[in-house]
Every structure is written in C-alpha cells, then in structure tokens.
Chain A
Amino acid sequence: MSVSDAEHPVDETSVNHSSNHSSSDEDALAELRNLLFGVEQRQLRQIQERLEDPKLRAEDLGKVLAEAVVLQTLQENEQLTEAMVPTIESAIQASVKKDLTVIADAIFPVIGPASRRAIATALEATLQSLNQALENSLTPQSFAWRLEALQTGKSFAEVVLLRTLLYRVEQVFLIHKETSLLLHHVAAPGVETLDADLVSAMLKAIQDFVRDSFNTSSGDSLDTLRFGELTIWIEQGPQAVLAGVIRGNAPYELRIVFQQAIEKIHQAQGKALADFQGNAAVFEASHADLEDCLRSRYRHKKQGNTAYAWAAMGVLLLALGIFGFFGFRARQRWATYLEQLKAEPGIVVIEAKRGWRKYFISGLRDPLAVDPDQLLQPVGINPQAVVSQWEPYLSFDSELAATRVKDLLKPPANVSLSLDEDGVLHMSGTAPRAWIAEAQQLAQFIPGVAQVEVSDLIETEVELESIQRQIEDQILQFQEGEAAIAPNQDESLQTLVEQIKRLTTLAAAFNQTVQVEAIGRANNNGSEAQKLALSQSRADAIVALLTSAGIEPESLTAQGIGTSNPLQNQSGISTVEINRSVSFKVSLTDEASSEISNP
C-alpha cells in the first residue's frame, strides 16, 4: 500500500509538468523519479509480473489455499462447501470414467465395515423373527435347545445356529493377486498340507479359468469353491486375495472375519503389496491376521456328541444290565432246577444245556419218580421253554422201592412197611394171615427188596381171638341192689370201649360184624322177678353207657339173667360180689350171613 500511496502524487506531478515543459525536462523528471522511487518501481514491476503470470499466481494461491479453506470452514461459511460440490462430483465422475479401480481401491477399506453394519442390522432382525418362529415350534429338539439356551444364557436362535453350524478353518492362504504368488500361509494344527505355493497358484488359475470360461462380468470373481464337506472361501482385496479352506458348514460371521483380515492386511501392507517383486518375507507380518481366521466350532459338536454318546452308553449299559440280570436269573433258576432234579429219587440227568431261548434236558426217569415238568413252575421256568427227553428206567432207590412195594402189596391200613438201605423190607402191624403169606411171597419179586422181615407182624386172626377173650373176661361190678355201675368201674368200662372198637375194626378186615351181648346178673337178695328185673336194668345201663361212648347200638344187645347162670368165685372176689355184675359174650358173624339172620 505504501507503494501505491507514494506513486499517486508522483503521477499527478508528472502529468501537470509534462503539459508545460520540454522533453528534456521529462528526462530529468524521469531521472529524478528513478532516483526518488527506484526501489519501489522494481517492486511494482515484480508485482505486475506475478499478477500476469498464471503459473506464479497458481503457486501463490496454492500457498494460501489450504489456509483460506480452513478459515472459511472455521467461520462456518457454507458457501465454500456448496461451491465445491459440483467440482468434486464431476471430479469423481471423471475418475470413475477413467479408471474405476482407483476409487474402488481407495474406498475398499470403508465399504466392508459399512456394508457389514447394514447386513448385521438386517441379520439381527432376521434372527429375531427366526427366534419367534422357533419359539413357536414345539419339537423335542427345540425343547433341548431351549434348555441349553437357558443354561448358557444365549438367545435361543444363537443356540440353534451353534447347533447347526459346525466347521473348522483348516488353512488360510494370502495370495498376491497380480502374480498369484503365495504371500503367506497358515494351517491349523494337525492339518496335512500340500505345497502351499502350488496350491495358491492353482487356486488363482482356477479362478482365472472360471472367469475366462463362463463369460462373467469383469468385476465378478469366484468366491466359493465347494467339494463335499470342504469349502474354499476366497475374499478379494484390491492387491491380494485371502483363501480359506473350511471343513464343515461355516457361518456367515466367518466371512466377516475373512473380510476384516484382508482389509487389515491391505491397510497395514498396502505399499508392500503394490511393490511386491517376489519377496514374501515382509508378509510374515500378516501371520496374526491370518491365524485369527483359523477358527473352529468343534467344541459344541463334541459336547453334543459326548452327550449323545453318554446317553447311548447309558442305554447300552442299562440294556446290558437288564440283559445280564435276566441272564443271571435264568442261569440261577436253571441251576436250581437241575439241583432239585438231581436230588429227586428216580431221576438221572444225563445232559442239560441252555440254548438261545430254550433249555434242553435228557436223562432217565423211573415212572414212580416225580414229574420233572412239575418242578419247573415253582422255580420260575416256563415249561414251554424246556425241551426234555426222559427214558424210563427202574430205580433201586429205597424210597421208590418202598413206594413200589406199597403199590404192589396194598397193605391193610394198620400195617406199616419200611425198606432199609440193605433192601430189607420190614413189616409191622396187624394183617390177616392170608395177606401176610401172599405179601411174603410177592415181596421177593419186587426190585429193590432183598429180604422180607415179618417178625413184628401180628396175624389179625390171632389178635381178634385175643381181644374177644379179653372182652369176655371183663366183669363190670355193681353195688348191692343198684342198677348203676359202681364208681370204681370207669377204667374197666373205658378199656372195654377200646376193645370193642378195635375188635370191630379187625373184624371188618374179614368182612365180619361184631355182636357184643351184655349179660346182667343179680345175687340172691329179693324175689326171682326182682333179681331178673335188676339184672336186666344192669345190662341195659351198660349198653347205654357203651352207646354213649361211641359203640354202634346195632352191635350191642342186653340181657338180664338174674341168678340163673351165676359166675364162679374168681381171684378172691366173693361169689356175692361177682354176681352183682355185667359180663359179655362176643360173637362174630360174616356180614352176608348176618344180613340173612337179621331179618
């Protein structure tokens, strides 16, 4: 400003002077002017030059432009922004028209996160509706998952995803896009890998092959290869691609992990990627990013598997337990049965074995032995399950021989038979003479009987006579003039009752009936008629007593004979006493003849 202020008066002066003076004056003035304003004039010229030279002006403007834009922005003046919009828009359009990849490469790291956020929002909504849909379903599986969701605190849908998506990333390749050379490679532990350099090149070749072969549009790329349960995911970046080899069913989230990895690698090593000349050592730095991609969800699968395995094992053990228990019990029962059979007389087990569901048994059996089938039910074996074959034989077992003896000899009720171990048949009791003779003869032919011992056997006929005699020897006494039995005669009466009963039983064996006649007597006191009446009363009284003691009335008769047939003195009892009495007369008659004589 100082320059122009100074210049102005000088100019005026020069104009005023030039109209009045000569040219020499002008020169002098010019010189004076030069002397006075020489420096300023040079500066003026420079300024003029700068203003007229566009290159210099651009340089100047460039120096202050950034500052000017910042100042404008700070003043919140939107004019500048609005003014710049059309230019920037057309600049971008021009750039895209010229080379799409420049912009694409520049915004690549931004696009991933932005689109992921949008997708995540959409996915969340989908998950929620999926959640509802699943919550409405009532399958047993959904109950199990719901239980797991409760236990783990995860959402139900998350559990469903976990249960359905199981995978393992086995290898990750970082491949240079231009040269298809391998930049870095990581593999999960225990994964067998072929030469990664070659695999990397081949992967790239396959991508090229697909692109060239199927006329795809230029921006497209092969991003998934699937072979059985093996999937190869290829994540494209501008300079490099990331290829993950996944076994199983990988979830969408994994794709995001891959995308983030390739983005991070581009951010960190963009320059190294662009300048790559074949030396991959620098990409060792991407190791962590690649390793982060080696994810797996085996754990959940294993848990599920072990749960099922445990359940299956449990069921198996239970089944084995039940099977074992029943097997054990069946063996026990069979053993018990065999034990019992062997203890049975007349049964010889030769062979016994267990089949799959049947038992087989064979041996010898005496017809008199117990039926083996009858022993099955009590020990709990189904008779239908037993196939048995018994050959008949004759057992010399003493018990069976005794049974056989009884069957053959048919001994009378009061005969007891016993066969000792030496085969001696002991008979005791009372039997008719004829039976004894027959039995003695028969017994010799019975197997198992070696000898017959009959010394304890009494012939019925002998006993019969003996008892008859004993009854007839009985005298029941009475007091003088009394028709009731003397008080001290109870015992004798009792004996008499037993004797009559025994006699009746023995006689029955010979088909004979017993008739006991009570004969009443009196001594010499009183008239004949009185004596007769008293003696009759005494006989009647005894018959009544015997009847009440259980003797059949038909086999009893009473008769008073007074003094007509007095008893003779006996063993110190006076004749008077002995004839105040009742004595007995026994007669045995064949049943047939008695029936004839009765009517």
Chain B
Amino acid sequence: MIQKKICMVGAFATGKTSLVARFVRSIYSDVYQTTVGVKIDKKLVNLNNQEVSLILWDLHGEDELQKVRMSYLRGASGYFLVVDGTRRSTFETALALQAKVEEIIGAVPFILVLNKLDLQADWELEEGAIAQVIQQGWTVIESSAKTGLGVEEAFLTLTQKMVEG
C-alpha cells in the first residue's frame, strides 16, 4: 500500500476542513487546528485497484502568508489550494500561497479547488483569471463541501496525479 502526505492550503474560511470532513471521518477534534495549527486525517482511496492511503494535513488557514506553518508542508506529495468562490481575495491568497509552497517543497502535484459551488450565485471570481491559470497547466476543480459535489473527484484526481507523477 502506498501512503501519500497531502496538505490542504488556502485562506481562512475557504472550507478546507469541510472538504476533509466531507471526505473522511477523523479521530482528532477540530481543536487541534487552532492549537497546533494542523489537523491530520486519513483517507483510503482506491485508484485502479491500488489502495492509496492519503494522510491529510489540514493546515490552519490564515490570510497572512507568513502565519501558515510552512514546516508542516515538508514531505507532502501533493496539495489542494482551496479558494472560496464567494471571496475574490482568497483566489489571490491562493496564488501567493502556491508560489510559497512551491518554493518550499518543490513542484509537486496540486489542484486548485474552487469551493462553495452551492453559492455560485454569489461568486466573485473572474472567468479570465481562472482561464489564465488553466492555461498555465493548473488543474481546477469546482466543488461544494456542503453538497459533496466535486469533492471525491478532487481527491481522486490529486491521488492519480501523485501516483503517476
């Protein structure tokens, strides 16, 4: 069985924890996130008849970059950049975070998750900006932690990228 460490990165209140909660049942309480700054969960994914154990490091989201504990990123095989579709600023934060993360752990697979799809009417994101990052080769998945839409797909896609990469 292959194990992979992946991180959930994104601005404050973008729904990282909700995405994980949608995906997995946890043994640690959410309190860890605000105390130690990270909450760790595990999810077994079956990819082409191969079991992959994902160790999810859900980092405490902060809007100021330097406050994210970058040491928690070390050893990650992939990560999610989570954006709150209803807040444009979180997209910018995601872009900055991506650069920072890549600086620390190198070019590993990642997925830009545009969360809160259930509130699409309130979305502030610009189509152009998203098209631009897709053009750069980024994988973008729209999701809703509330309805579960796109969540499983996001995890499976990232797993696939990590195993193949």
Contacts and interface: CB of A to CB of B under 8 A. Distances in A.
A and B from one complex: yes
Interface string A192-218: 001101100110011011011000000
A181 B55 CA distance: 8
A531 interface: no
A525 B3 CA distance: 167
B16 interface: no
A279 interface: yes
Contact of B55 (A198, A209, A211): A198
A194 B27 contact: yes
A410 to B, nearest CB: 104
A180 interface: yes
Nearest to A203: B40
A281 interface: yes
Contact of A280 (B3, B28, B57): B3
A85 B5 CA distance: 46
B116 interface: no
B55 A201 contact: yes
A198 B27 contact: yes
B79 to A, nearest CB: 13
Given A178-B74, A198-B27, A209-B69, A278 B2 contact: yes
A179 interface: yes
Contacts of B1: 279-281
Contact of A195 (B27, B37, B72): B27
Interface in B44-77: 52-53, 55, 57, 69, 71-72, 74-77
A206 B42 CA distance: 17
B22 interface: no
Contacts of B28: 198, 202
Interface string B2-20: 1111000000000000000
B51 to A, nearest CB: 11
Given A179-B5, A181-B55, A279-B2, A205 B27 contact: no
A199 to B, nearest CB: 9
Interface in A371-413: none
Contacts of B32: 202
A537 to B, nearest CB: 143
Contacts of B5: 179-181, 201
B42 A197 contact: yes
A176 interface: yes
Contacts of B41: 198
Contacts of B38: 205, 209
A178 B37 CA distance: 19
Interface string B74-101: 1111000000000000000000000000
Interface of B: 1-5, 27-28, 32, 36-38, 40-42, 52-53, 55, 57, 69, 71-72, 74-77
Given A194-B27, A208-B72, 7 more contacts: A176-B75, A177-B75, A198-B42, A202-B32, A208-B69, A212-B69, A279-B3
Interface of A: 176-182, 194-195, 197-198, 201-202, 205-206, 208-209, 211-212, 277-281
25 contacts: A177-B75, A179-B3, A179-B77, A180-B55, A180-B75, A181-B5, A181-B55, A182-B3, A194-B27, A195-B42, A197-B55, A198-B40, A198-B55, A201-B5, A201-B57, A205-B36, A205-B38, A208-B69, A208-B71, A209-B37, A209-B38, A212-B69, A278-B4, A278-B52, A278-B77
